Structure 1
Amino acid sequence: MTYQEFICAIETKMNQKLEGGVKAAQYTAIKNNGKVKKGLLIETPGVNISPTIYLEEFYQRFTDGESMEGLVQEILDFYRIVKCDQSMDANGINHYDAVQDKIVFKLIHTEKNQELLKGVPHFRLLDLSIVFYVLLDVNSRGTATMTVNNDHLQYWDVTAEDLFALARSNVKRLLPAELFTMQQAVDEILCSVPGKKKNLLQESAPEGADFMYVLSNPVRSFGAACIVYPEVLDMAGQVLGEDYYVLPSSVHEVVLVPVSKSMEPGEMDAMVMEINQTQVAEEEILSDHAYLYQRDARSLVMQHSFHL
């Protein structure tokens, strides 16, 4: 059974079980880095917020031998957890006064998102781009967001510069930067998801390698953007006490490694690329190489632009 056939089968079985006019329909989304993902959009009559459940993981489990009925029941159970029973005030979202305190930013790779960048306000940072979104909600199930596009700027009568200044203030309140050791990050992952293995970046750290730090935000969502926060890279340099490499583990976090404790630049680039190819979902990849933060110059540069 192909993935498309699997989606059709799940759609049919879900609609046989859903009640109260709730309907499941196929949905295709273009995610970060141009990744196309297909899943099911589950709509409730009278509610304007509909969860989308992507099915790649369920398809893999089906090909590994799990039953279709068991997977359908699991998807139903998950839907009941994440569904919204009330509509969101769409009019409020369209008014700048209602959203300006929730506008934040994230980092994406410029070359891999050229089509997206044509329609959204953004700023370049090396080979990356800063883009904006409205953080509508944060809870135990994740985050609800809305991408800010060029039409919003016209409707709100603001500039991209206005957004950037506002977002740099908002992120400190809504998504403050957190710096913690690699061992703390590993412990957090293993405690939150029993049986979960470390990724290659974590496995590459020597035992007790507390000189490696992870930079992210409390919700671990688009936390790589912390490298843009005012003074954060400078303060991290004070903690590490020297120049350091910034390794893009994903769009959600970066890893900081002091120059004196690092591998050769080419070896770090190779490690980052291997992580991206084997451990990180395509839509969560930030970049394929390391960066260097130079403390005296207070400057972040691309790895291939310097030599030790």
Structure 2
Amino acid sequence: MNSEELKDRVKDDLGQMLEAHGIKADISEHHVEKLNASYEALSITPEGSRIGVNANLSAICDAIEDGQSYSEVVARAADSIIAGIENTPEINVEDLTNYDEMKTKLAMEVVSADRNADMLQNVPHEQMEDIAVVYRLILGQDSEGRSSVLVTNDLMEQFGVTHDQLREDALVNAPEIRPSEIRGMSVVMTEMMGPGMIPEIDPADEQMFVAGVSDNIHGAGVIAYPNFFEDAAEKLGGDFYVLPSSIHEVLLVRDNGEMTAKDLEAMVREVNATQVAPEEQLTDHVYHYDSKEHVFEMADKFEERQAERDADERDSDKGSLLDDLKAKKEEVAKEAPEKHAKDAVKKSRGGEAL
């Protein structure tokens, strides 16, 4: 069967599975444009409800076309849809247009500005180098996942607020509902692998830290929080590099002269290419925070700025040395006539004594 026939079959079979589970729902196909991803989806809305769930139809069909068992793939999709419907939080739809209610649910997330250029035209955002900060409403969250809505220009207009107001409220509320965490890499690895699996490291010797939020979902947005960089600089003891591990977290590496931006960027590119799903990638670049100047920038920009600063200091030192030599030369030149006159007097007096 062709792709359209496969989609129709999946849609029909999912409908039957849901009915067998006691769920009657309207199932419609539509195209979803999401940050960092787009796909064909099925929107499943139970009868009598105004809120439904989406199923990634493209992913379902791709798995089947790649040779996976049709029945197993569709069964997994049905289980996921049922879980989503059963765990949908109670939401008063009227509240979705009430900004005073919704602003307390504002979170901040980050995505690649380049990869999402088209989408960002319709989404209020801020720019941090080539990273875009976007705003999302977290409607509900549990062990099965979360329900959220990306704030678009249309939604912002429905709220009747300006971009500036949205940003100000997010800066207040995001750190409250999703506090940032900065943990040493050894601590994170111990939690993942269990005690005793890796050598203990003194916190003062920790070179790499993980920054995100407690649920590890879209936590890289903490870099946009007020005072995040200042707090991180205090914890790390000065300047540091920022590695975009994924949209879920970032890595902070002490700038102690042991690694260059080029080395770190090569590492990020390799990890993105081999270990991070495309829809979860942030960027391939490395960033740097200058704790003295309070500047967040691409790491290569920092190194260029540092090189210029070092060159200026060398020129300044060179200028000081030349000034010292010039002053000494002038002093010697000034002393020469006086010395000549004194020598002449001595010779003259010496002649008279003979």
- Residue aligned with 1:179, SS: strand
Secondary structure of 1:221's aligned partner:
coil
SS of residue matched to 1:145: strand
1:188 Cα shift? 4.8
Query: How many Å apart are 1:23 and its aligned residue?
Result: 4.2
Partner of 2:107: 104
Residues 210 and 53 (structure 1), Cα distance of their counterparts in 2 relative to 1, 3 Å cut: farther
Selected match of 1:178 from 140, 156, 181: 181
Bigger helix share: 2
Instruction: Give the C-alpha shift of residue 261 in structure 1.
Output: 6.7
Seen in structure 2, the aligned counterparts of structure 1 residues 184 and 91 have a Cα distance that, compared at 3 Å, is: same
CA shift in 2, pair 1:69/1:227, >3 Å = same
The aligned counterpart of 1:201 is none
- Aligned residue number for residue 169 of structure 2: 166
Q: CA deviation at 1:61?
A: 5.0
Give, as a single letter, the amino acid of the residue that structure 2 aligns with 1:101.
T
Aligned pairs, how many? 294
Residue 209 of structure 2 corresponds to 213
Partner of 2:298: 302
- CA gap of 1:52–1:157, structure 2 versus 1, over 3 A, is closer
Q: Distance in 2 between matches of 1:276 and 1:226?
A: 20
Q: Give the corresponding residue for 1:72.
A: 74
Question: Are residues 1:43 and 2:39 paired?
Answer: no
Q: How far apart in 2 are the matches of 1:278 and 1:3?
A: 29
SS class of match (2:273): helix
Q: Matches of 2:234 and 2:211 in 1, distance apart?
A: 14
For residues 127 and 32 of structure 1, the distance between their equivalents in structure 2, rounded to whole angstroms, comes to 15
Distance apart, 1:66 and its partner CA: 3.6
SS at match of 2:134: strand
State the 1:81 CA deviation. 1.6
Q: So what's the TM-score if we normalise by structure 2?
A: 0.74
Q: Give me the TM-score of the superposition, normalised by structure 1.
A: 0.84
Identify which range, 72-81 or 42-51, moves more after superposition. 72-81
Q: Please state if 1:282 is matched with 2:284.
A: no
- Shift in CA distance, 31/154, structure 1 to aligned 2, threshold 3 Å: closer
Tell me the SS of whatever aligns to 1:214: strand
Equivalent position of 2:351 in the other structure: none
- Per the alignment, residue 256 of structure 1 pairs with 252
Sort the Cα spacing of 1:10 and 1:106 in 2 relative to 1 into closer, same or farther, 3 A: same
One-letter amino acid matched to 2:299? Q
User: Do structure 1's residue 17 and structure 2's residue 17 form an aligned pair?
Assistant: yes
User: How far has the Cα of 1:28 moved from its partner?
Assistant: 2.3
Distance 1:73 1:162, change over 3 A: same
- Asked if the contact 1:31–1:283 (Cα under 8 Å) also holds between the matched residues in 2, the reply is no
Q: Which of 92, 95, 102 is 2:95 aligned to?
A: 92
Deviation at residue 121 of structure 1 after TM alignment: 2.0
**Is residue 295 of structure 2 the alignment partner of residue 293 of structure 1?**
no
Q: 1:131 aligns with which of 113, 134, 137?
A: 134
Deviation at 1:4, TM superposition (A): 5.7
Secondary structure of residue in 2 paired with 1:37? strand
5+ residue gaps, structure 2, are 307-354
- Rounded to whole Å, the distance in 2 between the matches of 1:108 and 1:67 is 34
Deviation at 1:16, TM superposition (A): 2.8
Between the two proteins, what is the percent identity of the paired residues? 29
**Alignment partner for residue 83 of structure 1, among 82, 85, 108?**
85
Structure 1 SS opposite 2:279: helix
Contact residue 25 and residue 41 of structure 1 kept, 8 A = yes
Q: CA deviation at 1:289?
A: 0.6
Larger deviation, residues 75-84 vs 244-253: 75-84
| CA distance in structure 1 between the aligned counterparts of 2:186 and 2:57, rounded to whole angstroms | 32
Partner of 1:145: 148
**SS of residue in 2 equivalent to 1:15:** helix
Cα deviation for residue 13 of structure 1 reads 1.9
- For residues 111-122 of structure 1, the aligned pairs below 5 Å read 111-122=114-125
Contact 1:47–1:87 (8 Å) recurs in 2: no
SS of 1:260 mapped into structure 2: coil
Q: Distance in 1 between matches of 2:75 and 2:158?
A: 43
Tell me if the contact between 2:108 and 2:222 (Cα under 8 Å) persists in the aligned partners.
no
| Partner residue, 2:54 | 52
Match of residue 197 from structure 1: none
The unaligned stretches of length 5 or more in structure 1 are 192-204
Separation of aligned partners in 1, 2:208 and 2:89: 44
Distance 2:15 2:73 in 1: 14
Shift of 1:151: 3.0
User: For 2:297 and 2:181, how far apart are their aligned partners in 1?
Assistant: 22
Q: Does the C-alpha gap of structure 1 residues 154 and 22 become closer, same or farther in structure 2, counting only changes over 3 Å?
A: closer
